[in-house]
Structure 1
Amino acid sequence: MIQAFGLTSISRKDLPPAVDDVSFEALAGRVTALLGATGAGKTSALRLMLELQQGRGITYFRGRPLHRIAHPSREVGVLMGDVPGHPARTVRGHLRMLCAAAGVPVRRADEVLEVVGLVSLRDERLGTLSRGMDRRLGLACVLLSDPHTLVLDDPADGLSGRESQWLHGMLRAHAAQGGTVLFTTAEPKEAARAADRVVTLEQGRLVADQEAVEFARTRLRPRVAVRTPHATRLAALLAKEARTARRSVEVVQEGGNRLYVYGSTCADIGETAFRHGVLVHQLADETGDMGPGAGLLPGEAARAAAATPTGVTGSKPCDLLDGGETEVVGTETRSGQEAHDGLESPSGSEVRGDRGAPASPKARDEQAPHRSRASHGGPAAGSGRVVSNPGGASKAPAPLPPLPPPISVRSAPSPLRPLRYELRRAAGIGTGFLAGGAVLVVSALTAVLLARVGHTPQARLLAAWPRELPLPPAALGAGLLGALAFGDEFRHPALAADRGTVPRRLGLLTAKLVVAAATALLLAFLTLGCDAEVLYLVYGQELTEVPADWLALGASWFGLVVGCAWAGVLAAGIFRSTTAGLAAVVAVPVVVVPLVQKALEGASVRAAAGLPARAREVLLLQWPFGGERYLAGAVRVIAQPVGGALTLSLTALLCAYLLTTLRSRVR
């Protein structure tokens, strides 16, 4: 069950809020449709309910707000827009990755694929799926953690009639099992056909909350669609015959050659057109839209006029027809504006709705439950609703009700199995493998060219690191892979979909650093092996001899590659961009190293001469089992220009990442 109270978005400048004091319920075991035209505030209402947008109000999912639910994805399944997955990832791989994020067994991916009918397409890439298959995959992502509540934003948009029927059947089956389903749509006929209850929004305000049967009776009615080049003449002929036969017929002309006729049949209209020689291009039965502003049924104008009280301020009656279209009712022809002006407003004591339509007690309770409780039955100030006093005695205005609680943007939870998620994310696409292969090829070619030119030390030759380049190809490749680890989260936000922003949690960061380090170590080892093998094949064994200080050189090499990978991960997580992550890696030797050297070379009164020796005397002599040798090696690596600058950059990036994480949690 969903209970939304007082949903109100934050207005910008002088514009009205996209959602203004919307309250409704979606019951368990039923399908509820949130109906409204484009710009009515449907998506904003959903984002407020899911705490993805700041505003005011509160929404309970089975009695608990979303930020009080330990694992929201297991309680509420959400689909808003297309599936936010990498286009090169397979359908099954994407679902298996989300299984690790949701903390459900991996076999659940195959189960939902069978439910939505995508078993035969499980090895297809996301970028090759059609619109209908993408909707099926989106529904599979929603059902992955078996949630009780489904919230979908216009799920049938762009689908064919058959695909829409299948989708609505799936939603109906979920509701039949006791679940709650809420979806938005802009089509009144779809809402009446697929939902049990229809909640209508107009310009961010709640205008109706009805059962689907009542909605279809009051907002939809059968009509005949006619398309003819002589629309005006045919409308006049139909009006004349209606007056002669004293039948209630309404003719609405839209465009230059289209008519909608209410209260008649295709046979009667076809006979009239045949008798008078009017050419007809289309004649078909339809279900017309009687949504907000679309008009009233024939004979309902008198009831609406009788129910309209006097003394109503701040409300505006709906026009009978849009834009002054021609209406024919019985034997009278009049424009929409004349029909609007002809409504009488007798006195009465009925409470009016915000839009001028009579509001029933049930509708008033559903529209503003928190206001009615706060004011003890009194009208809310400024709401445009006035209760007339038959005795004439004026009553003191009720106090203003308290504002609904503020809605803060909910931080996204980290994957329940972050290491498994990161492994499946990294191995699910071929970008990492292509980047690694390109690094090996470039490194081998560079090593061969350096050996041909000569004058290159053995260590730089095996690493394929010419002095003209700030970093070797392996370090740049490791930095690129590290930047992709977080950059793809923002470019293809599989974790951020319907959860808020991309999570900046220490668990996810640790998993990414571990996987990036393992990938960098593997890349560094393969680079050395490939370079040595190519040099041996081309020039012989002379250039592949192992240096005497191979342990220190190896530690420096592996530390450089892993440090570049970590710098890419941290920078991409901070700046939310793969390009920014790679730029941070390149900036270490290009910008940071010269700045550090310039700071150390400056004139000073005292110099820290002999600091390494004194540090060795103070610290290294206390280590058992010869541990001082390894620590001394690490100090020598950091003391190098690139090593020291990389350590400084990693420290700064890690502090910045932790600062942004703490700020997001404080908010």
Structure 2
Amino acid sequence: MLQAIGLTSARHRGLPPAVDDLTFEAGSGCVTALLGPPGSGKTAALRLMLELEPGRGVTYFRGRPLHRVAHPAREVGVLLGDVPGHPARTARGQLRMLCAATGVPASRADELLDAVGLSGLGDQRIGTLSLGMDRRLALACALLGDPHTLILDEPAEGLTSREADWLHGMLGSHADRGGTVLYTTHDAKRAARSAGHVVTIDAGRLVADQSVADFSRTRLRPRVAVRSPHAARLAAIVSREARADRRSVEVVTEASSSRLSVYGSSCAEIGDTAYRHGLPVHQLADEIGDTSPEAGPGPGPDAAAPAPRLESSAAPPPSPLSEPLPVAGAGEGERQLPPRIRRRPARGPLRPVRYELRRLFGVRTTTLIIAVALVASAALSVLLGRNGGTPLPNVLAAWPSLLPLPPAALGAGLLGALSFGDEFRYPALAAGRGTVPRRLGLLLAKLAVSAGVALVLALLVVLASAESLRLVYGGDLVKVPSNAVSLAVSWSGLTVGCAWAGLLAAGIFRVTAAGVAAVLAVPVLMVPLIESMPKAPTARSMSGLPGRLRELAWLQWPHEADRWVAAAVRVVAHPVGAALTLSLSVLVCAYLFMTLRGRVRW
């Protein structure tokens, strides 16, 4: 069961709230339609229930507010608009990625694809799906955690009648299994056909809270649509005969002077009356009229007749939920305001490493970047090895002096920037929030995965460069240098550092371009800045640092590790290493500051 109590949205610039003291229930085993014209506050009400907007009120999902539910995706399934996924990702890849975020097995993706009728389109990209197929995929995303409650915003908007009937059939099946379904709509007839309970709102306030039978009787009255060139004369005759026979018949003349809507009569009675008086009739049909206050008369078959508002005739007695909560120990006339709704940050994925791996390799962009880096590195190494004047480490790394960074470092930085850049552009984890959860687990997963991909790319580049040199110039050119350990540490630190710089910068500024700019800023801005710093005439040596660290350490590491410590120190002492270390330190501090500020704000 869903219970919404006193929902009131925050005021903006002195305007009235989009939702004002809205209270209603959506019971288990029932489909509830939240009905209202466009701009009536339906979407704002849903966002208040899901704690996506600040305001007042409380919404209980089986007795608990959403922020106290341990696994929200297993309690509430949400459909707000289209699928918030990368357009190049396949439907199956999108669901498998969200399975890792929800903490359910990956096999759940194929089960839901079959359930929503997309079993044959699992390998189709999201960007190529039609509106109906996209809505099916969105419903599958909402059902991933097998939630008890489904909340959907205009799910049938833009769909054909056949697709809308299928969608509402799925919602009805979920309710038949004991679930709670709440969806918004502006179509009164669709609400009457597909819902068991209808909550009508207008201007953010409750208008009526009815069962579908009461709703159909009070708002969707049967009528006879009549079109005749003598409509005014026919209306007068029908009204006069109804008064004479003491029948309750209402005749409404619509905007077109040739059209009538007759309530309380039938086609046969109107036809007989017109025939007896010799009046021609051009149209005579049974219809369902919408008596909503916002619907106006029109020439089409769905035109609505004007009628009084429903508050006085259709609204049931107030529910106990609509009564304000008394303050403990307060006077009789005092009432307590509903609690504040805080806009809470999105939760991170339950399996962050698995989620990040599926996110990274779920699109072809990752493979394309790695392939371009390998091909460019192999070509550059062949060109650098031709003249024989370039040092072997630079040849293997494909790093000519003209480039600020080698292709491997640029590729690793771009992949790192896309790690957060795509999250903000296609926020699958935080649909409707416009942000990405700043969770430590997600950050660590992204750092670990990006570092692993950077190391693999660095190794593949060296192997591809060595093999290219062997094929072109023979095997005598490539030899293992004596300082291979130091070179390996430097090369690994460069690629991993670039990946992390791009990742953190994109996470701070919420765009991929910022991550790429941060990577390029290391050799273009930071290295010249460090090289321009004044140096002391007598520099102190750092020799013996591993031994001194061993004395301070609580646990003693093997003596073989001294070489790795010394290599790492030399890397940091290099201008590029120092610049990258300084950039990463600044970016980490900035990311932590943004994270703490966001938590304090909400």
> Cα deviations across residues 572-606 of structure 1 (Å, max 9, x unaligned)?
122211111111111111122222333x327xxx7
- Residue identity in the other structure for 2:48: L
| Equivalence map 1:181-330=2 (5 Å) | 181-225=181-225, 233-246=229-242, 248-254=249-255, 260-263=261-264, 265=266, 272=274, 280=282, 284-294=285-295
| Equivalence map 1:582-601=2 (5 Å) | 582-598=516-532, 600-601=533-534
Unaligned runs of 5+ in 2: 244-248, 299-304
Question: Given that residues 210 and 315 in structure 2 are in contact (C-alpha distance below 8 angstroms), is that contact kept between their aligned partners in structure 1?
Answer: no
> Cα deviations across residues 445-466 of structure 1 (Å, max 9, x unaligned)?
2233334466432222221112
- Post-superposition offset of 1:6: 0.8
> Cα deviations across residues 227-257 of structure 1 (Å, max 9, x unaligned)?
x7xx8x4432432332453463423424798
Pair 1:610 & 2:540 matched: yes
Question: Given that residues 239 and 249 in structure 1 are in contact (C-alpha distance below 8 angstroms), is that contact kept between their aligned partners in structure 2?
Answer: no
Q: Which residue of 425, 439, 442 maps to 1:505?
A: 439
Q: Secondary structure at the match of 2:319?
A: helix
Select between 537-546 and 116-125 the one with higher mean Cα deviation: 537-546
Pair 1:553 & 2:487 matched: yes
Q: Secondary structure at the match of 1:19?
A: coil
- Post-superposition offset of 1:484: 1.1
CA-atom RMSD, angstroms?
3.1
Task: Output the CA distance in 2 between the equivalents of 1:255 and 1:474.
Answer: 72
Q: Which residue of 578, 581, 587 maps to 1:653?
A: 587
Give the direction of change, closer, same or farther, for the CA distance of 1:152–1:377 in structure 2 (3 Å limit).
Answer: farther
Aligned to 2:599: 665
- Residue identity in the other structure for 1:405: P
> Cα deviations across residues 273-292 of structure 1 (Å, max 9, x unaligned)?
996567x5x76533221123
Pair 1:131 & 2:131 matched: yes
Task: Output the CA distance in 2 between the equivalents of 1:546 and 1:254.
Answer: 91
Task: Output the CA distance in 2 between the equivalents of 1:630 and 1:452.
Answer: 32
- Post-superposition offset of 1:263: 4.6
Task: Output the CA distance in 2 between the equivalents of 1:115 and 1:467.
Answer: 57
Select between 67-76 and 259-268 the one with higher mean Cα deviation: 259-268
- Number of residue pairs matched by the alignment: 584
- Post-superposition offset of 1:223: 3.2
Select between 59-68 and 547-556 the one with higher mean Cα deviation: 547-556
Task: Output the CA distance in 2 between the equivalents of 1:252 and 1:367.
Answer: 41
Q: Secondary structure at the match of 1:364?
A: coil
Task: Output the CA distance in 1 between the equivalents of 2:518 and 2:238.
Answer: 78
| Equivalence map 1:174-573=2 (5 Å) | 174-225=174-225, 233-246=229-242, 248-254=249-255, 260-263=261-264, 265=266, 272=274, 280=282, 284-294=285-295, 357-358=311-312, 363-365=317-319, 368-370=322-324, 373=326, 399-452=333-386, 455-497=389-431, 501-573=435-507
| Equivalence map 1:96-107=2 (5 Å) | 96-107=96-107
Task: Output the CA distance in 2 between the equivalents of 1:454 and 1:275.
Answer: 108
Give the direction of change, closer, same or farther, for the CA distance of 1:456–1:111 in structure 2 (3 Å limit).
Answer: same
Task: Output the CA distance in 1 between the equivalents of 2:421 and 2:542.
Answer: 39
Question: Given that residues 43 and 153 in structure 1 are in contact (C-alpha distance below 8 angstroms), is that contact kept between their aligned partners in structure 2?
Answer: yes
Give the direction of change, closer, same or farther, for the CA distance of 1:359–1:665 in structure 2 (3 Å limit).
Answer: farther
- Post-superposition offset of 1:10: 0.8
Q: Secondary structure at the match of 1:63?
A: coil
Question: Given that residues 427 and 434 in structure 2 are in contact (C-alpha distance below 8 angstroms), is that contact kept between their aligned partners in structure 1?
Answer: no
Unaligned runs of 5+ in 1: 295-320, 324-334, 341-354, 379-397
> Cα deviations across residues 5-49 of structure 1 (Å, max 9, x unaligned)?
111111111211111110111111111111011110001101100
> Cα deviations across residues 606-648 of structure 1 (Å, max 9, x unaligned)?
7672152475674367765243322111000011111111111
- Residue identity in the other structure for 1:610: R
Q: Secondary structure at the match of 1:612?
A: coil
Task: Output the CA distance in 2 between the equivalents of 1:283 and 1:538.
Answer: 88
- Residue identity in the other structure for 1:569: L
Q: Secondary structure at the match of 1:4?
A: strand
Aligned to 2:246: none
Task: Output the CA distance in 1 between the equivalents of 2:561 and 2:232.
Answer: 102
- Post-superposition offset of 1:431: 0.8
> Cα deviations across residues 295-332 of structure 1 (Å, max 9, x unaligned)?
xxxxxxxxxxxxxxxxxxxxxxxxxx779xxxxxxxxx
Question: Given that residues 356 and 445 in structure 2 are in contact (C-alpha distance below 8 angstroms), is that contact kept between their aligned partners in structure 1?
Answer: yes
Question: Given that residues 621 and 628 in structure 1 are in contact (C-alpha distance below 8 angstroms), is that contact kept between their aligned partners in structure 2?
Answer: no
Aligned to 1:575: 509
Task: Output the CA distance in 1 between the equivalents of 2:171 and 2:292.
Answer: 24
- Post-superposition offset of 1:656: 1.9
Q: Secondary structure at the match of 1:403?
A: coil
Task: Output the CA distance in 1 between the equivalents of 2:233 and 2:330.
Answer: 53
Task: Output the CA distance in 1 between the equivalents of 2:35 and 2:140.
Answer: 24
- Post-superposition offset of 1:58: 0.7
Question: Given that residues 85 and 494 in structure 1 are in contact (C-alpha distance below 8 angstroms), is that contact kept between their aligned partners in structure 2?
Answer: yes
Q: Secondary structure at the match of 1:199?
A: strand
Question: Given that residues 202 and 292 in structure 1 are in contact (C-alpha distance below 8 angstroms), is that contact kept between their aligned partners in structure 2?
Answer: no
Task: Output the CA distance in 2 between the equivalents of 1:608 and 1:22.
Answer: 75
Give the direction of change, closer, same or farther, for the CA distance of 1:235–1:585 in structure 2 (3 Å limit).
Answer: farther
Q: Secondary structure at the match of 1:208?
A: strand
Question: Given that residues 208 and 310 in structure 2 are in contact (C-alpha distance below 8 angstroms), is that contact kept between their aligned partners in structure 1?
Answer: no
Pair 1:25 & 2:21 matched: no
Question: Given that residues 208 and 315 in structure 2 are in contact (C-alpha distance below 8 angstroms), is that contact kept between their aligned partners in structure 1?
Answer: no
Question: Given that residues 522 and 576 in structure 2 are in contact (C-alpha distance below 8 angstroms), is that contact kept between their aligned partners in structure 1?
Answer: yes
Aligned to 2:301: none
- Post-superposition offset of 1:368: 2.8
- Post-superposition offset of 1:266: 5.2
